[in-house]
């Protein structure tokens, strides 16, 4: 079994946004695992360059251009794949759009539409078409989202919530397609040194505070994101679906922790804090709750919840 955990021999994989960056690195790794890779992006010449690198390394690949923001282009892409006569086994939704960096108050509807057309509608339609082809024999779909899908980044409001939509979409598709043997997962890259992220990585005033917030202290390289994506496409991930994997250098560790009492994290069985406004600032008040029933449920849950609410000051209810 060890020899086949990462073996994709005989599989066909489609990777969008694969002409550079994370997509190109993923395409190369899937080919190294034995898959025939369809390298797709808007520019066929850029795709052909990646195909050339894959073939030079001994892999199998071909280029098919498509703009994921256009439904007609997606239809043409799948028509071309169907004409090959080989079933599609793997889809990596990696193409993305982020045409605007700045306040949402100043964002044009044209920039909004471009972001949503690719990051939400494009991902949905790509997945729907792939799933229709995979449901008879199974498959794997990986959506490349972003850590911004968990916490919106300044200047990237619409991009962030489009990535949040991808996380929810991943769970919805995973639930629906599980009975058909199709696994759907998401990978959330953190700051990565790509042309796509150049608005962040090429501006020292933006980059320096970002790097300070990353425990590993640096941006990722595309070939550090690709292994997680490729792993989710292999037999080694056969029991994983509906999951989201952050590959972010530990930046999520910087999220504020829950309130604590004497250095211990507050839990349901411990003391709770009620926040209230007093003299223009927040004041914490420790609450003591009865120990919860050993098994919460039915009447026990109702009684415990009622006891908790009665402990709260009226301003916090």
Catalytic residues, which ones?
A: 159
Three-state DSSP at 55 gives helix
Find how far residue 194's CA is from the centre of its chain: 17
Distance CA 169, CA 123 (A): 9
User: 42 near 67, Cβ under 8 Å?
Assistant: yes
Distance CA 276, CA 280 (A): 10
DSSP 143: E
Count of C-beta atoms within a 10 Å radius of residue 165? 18
87: Cβ–Cβ under 8 A, 6 or more apart, which residues?
A: 12, 133, 134, 137
User: 72 near 78, Cβ under 8 Å?
Assistant: no
Count of C-beta atoms within a 10 Å radius of residue 96? 24
Distance CA 125, CA 278 (A): 51
For residue 270, with 0-12 CB atoms within 10 Å meaning exposed, 13-18 middle and 19 or more buried, which class applies? middle
Q: How many residues does the chain have?
A: 317
Find how far residue 168's CA is from the centre of its chain: 10
Query: E-assigned strands of the chain?
Result: 12-15, 36-39, 60-63, 90-93, 139-144, 182-189, 244-247, 260-261, 264-265, 272-278, 281-287
Three-state DSSP at 2 gives helix
């Amino acid at each position: 079994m060890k020899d086949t955990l990462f073996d994709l021999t005989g599989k066909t994989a489609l990777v969008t946004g694969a002409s550079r960056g994370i997509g190109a690195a993923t395409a190369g790794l899937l080919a190294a695992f034995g898959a025939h890779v369809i390298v797709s992006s808007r520019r066929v010449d850029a795709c052909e360059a990646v195909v050339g690198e894959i073939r030079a390394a001994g892999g199998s690949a071909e280029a098919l251009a498509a703009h994921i923001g256009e439904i007609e282009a997606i239809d043409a892409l799948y028509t071309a794949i169907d004409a090959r006569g080989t079933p599609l086994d793997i889809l990596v939704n990696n193409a993305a759009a982020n045409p605007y960096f700045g306040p949402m108050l100043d964002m044009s509807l044209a920039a909004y539409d471009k972001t949503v057309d690719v990051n939400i509608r494009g991902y949905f339609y790509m997945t729907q078409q792939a799933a229709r082809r995979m449901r008879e024999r199974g498959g794997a779909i990986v959506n490349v989202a972003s850590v911004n899908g968990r916490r919106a980044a300044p200047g990237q409001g619409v991009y962030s919530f489009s990535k949040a939509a991808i996380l929810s979409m991943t769970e919805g598709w995973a639930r629906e397609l599980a009975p058909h043997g199709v696994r759907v997962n998401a990978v959330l890259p953190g700051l990565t040194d790509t042309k796509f992220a150049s608005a962040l990585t090429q501006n020292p005033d933006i980059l320096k505070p970002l790097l300070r917030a990353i425990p590993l202290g640096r941006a990722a390289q595309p070939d550090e994101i690709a292994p997680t994506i490729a792993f989710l496409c292999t037999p080694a991930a056969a029991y994983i679906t509906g999951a989201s994997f952050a590959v972010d250098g530990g930046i999520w560790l910087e999220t504020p922790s829950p309130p604590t009492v004497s250095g211990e994290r507050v839990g349901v069985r411990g003391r709770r804090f009620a926040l209230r406004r007093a003299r223009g600032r927040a004041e914490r008040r420790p609450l003591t709750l009865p120990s919860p029933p050993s098994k919460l449920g039915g009447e026990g849950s109702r009684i415990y919840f009622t006891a908790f609410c009665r402990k709260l000051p009226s301003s916090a209810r």
